[in-house]
Amino acid sequence: MPPVLSISVEDYLDTSFEDGDREYIDGELQEKIVGEIDHSYIQALITAWFHIHGRKLGLCPLIEVRTQVSRTRYRVPDIVVVSGPKPQGRVITEPPFLAIEIISPEDRLSRMEERIDDYIRFGIRFIWVIDPKTGKGYIYTGQHRIPVEDGIFWTEDPRVDLDFARLSE
């Protein structure tokens, strides 16, 4: 991984990166792992699924949008799903209903756990972590981590049931 670069939050928000976005963690830029084909394909299918099915539930999916999880931390989830219409502004500043992370081969457990902890502290009600090769993963709700062995990722209020095996149908 390249050396970490320290910058101000203002400079971070005014910077675009040609090779994928970065996360801003307590004054330092951290490279976001760019997914491969499996990652990208599942990300597109999930986003399309929410675009079609989520609309009836008042949900709006967004791909890789900067999300201010605290005053000094900006994460870039693979997908966020917000309640209501598309948010205004440049970044997400209120907790979305759902954050989805799709595991890449280069992801490290310690970095994923730190990311999930940030999402929980921020107040995201549901967090899905999905392995694109197996369709298994975890659902986080507050302090609970629920294994997903059957490929069905869910939320409550509104109830969402996404069947990983049926995504490409």
Query: Considering only CA atoms, which of 109, 53, 47, 102 is closest in space to residue 78?
Result: 102
The domains found in the chain, sorted by start residue, are 35-166 (3.90.1570.10)
Mean pLDDT for back-to-back runs of 10 residues, the chain (169 residues): 72 83 91 83 96 95 97 97 96 98 85 94 98 95 94 97 92
Query: Considering only CA atoms, which of 25, 31, 18 is closest in space to residue 106?
Result: 31
For residue 1, the model assigns a pLDDT of 47
